[in-house]
Amino acid sequence: MFSKKNKEEKNKTTASKILNILKWVLIGIISVILIVVILLLIIRAIGKAIYNKTPKGGINESMYVDINQSKQWINIYGQDISNPVILYLHGGPGDPTSAYSYKYVRQWSDVFTVVTWDQRNCGLSYSDDQNNTTLTYDIFMKDGIEMTNYLKNHLHKEKITLIGHSWGTFLGCNLILENPDNYDYYIGTGQLIDVYENEVAFIEAAKEWSKGDAEGEKLVALMEEKVKAKNWDDDFNMYKYQLESRYGYNSYDYKDEKPDYNRNAAYFFNPFHSISSIYKYLHGRDIGTNYKDFMNSPEFEKFSLLNRTEYKIPFYNINGDRDYTTNHVLAKKYFDAVNAPRKQYYTMKNMAHGLLEIRSGEFSDIVHDIVKLEQTNTTIAVN
């Protein structure tokens, strides 16, 4: 009986020691995690501080501007405040890039004061109460005009330059066609001409890609039904994404080529975003629900550039020769029809829709070339 009692006490002692060891192991693990988190936060704070620096003689301002009854976020960055101003119009609609675009737009900051803008109800401009607003052609145009006027007044410029990507080319061209006196010249990349014609052209290209591939042909047929109905819903986007990925035309599939900067580091050291807002961006929680309705409405179609080719300011295009998200063949055909004081077409070889986001250095070189042409008012032959 005495031996049994000793064994029980010994077992309890052993169990107590094991629990004590486990407790200290757990404390150690938690301590290591806390130290790593603290170090990461310190490293992030240092990185953010570096990117938040204002260049000597330049500008670095982030703010919310009252635009057309909504608060819309912008960052203004440049190395020389006397430089001309360029407003970057992101794609989508409703696809803000402020989570990482500072890594490529700031490559133009030696020749421009660059304005990054999260358009209405997306990105850092997102607001739940804006979801009830029906998005229209007039709303986006008024947003663009008011933002333009704000920048002209705030930065004391008579005119600004516009650079648009994808949907941003739609908005940018319409702003210039309607209000040319506000702008000195236009740069479009991933140029969109007409939503319906763009997808019809995509179907024709995809039919060639998928010949002899039963699964691909099935996806083309499914997408073609959506195009005929002008139904740009989630299924349509999925079919298009799958076809682009299947045949190597996806804008952001980096299997063959990665961006020439580290995208994850750009998120981590982002000078504008909190960790929470980066998370929302990565999970698509910073885009207004009203954008889906807009894209399936006649209001979106009003931005079409078909038969609207008279520009009163210089017109530049930079497109990838593998871009079928916004069809590069249609873009070139439209460019050839454009009548402008000066114009030039640049092709980035073996590039799809994400050209400025992947080969940011090459894209920046072209932007600098355009600036030189404009500084000398050179009339150039079209490529």
DSSP H or E run through 77 = strand 70-78
How sure is the predictor about 11, in pLDDT bands with cuts at 50, 70 and 90?
low
Instruction: Out of 65-74, 171-180, 255-264, 265-274, pick the least confident.
Output: 255-264
pLDDT of 383 over the 60 cut: no
Burial class (CB in 10 A: 0-12, 13-18, 19+), 157: middle
Of 283, 46, 346, the C-alpha closest to 38 is 46
Helix or strand run (H / E) with residue 104: helix 102-105
pLDDT in tens, 37-51: 899 889 999 989 999
Cα separation of 364 and 356, whole Å? 8
> How far is CA 249 from each of CA 159, 187, 240, 322, 328, rounded to the nearest angstrom?
37, 23, 10, 6, 12
SS3 377: coil
Q: pLDDT at position 77, please?
A: 98
Three-state DSSP at 208 gives helix
Local confidence band at 381 (pLDDT 50, 70, 90 cut-offs):
very low
**Considering only CA atoms, which of 143, 198, 152 is closest in space to residue 175?**
143
Tens digit of each residue's pLDDT (9 = 90 or more) over 185-196: 999 999 999 999
Which tops the pLDDT comparison, 377 or 298? 298
Query: With contact defined as beta carbons under 8 Å apart, do 114 and 78 qualify?
Result: yes
List the beta bridge partners of residue 73. 64
pLDDT at 357 over 50: yes
In the sheet that holds 343-348, the strands lie side by side as 59-67, 70-78, 113-117, 85-89, 160-165, 183-189, 315-320, 343-348
Q: What number is the average pLDDT over the span 7-28? A: 76
How far apart (Å, rounded) are the C-alpha atoms in residues 176 and 154? 20
Burial of 119 (0-12, 13-18, 19+ CB in 10 A): buried
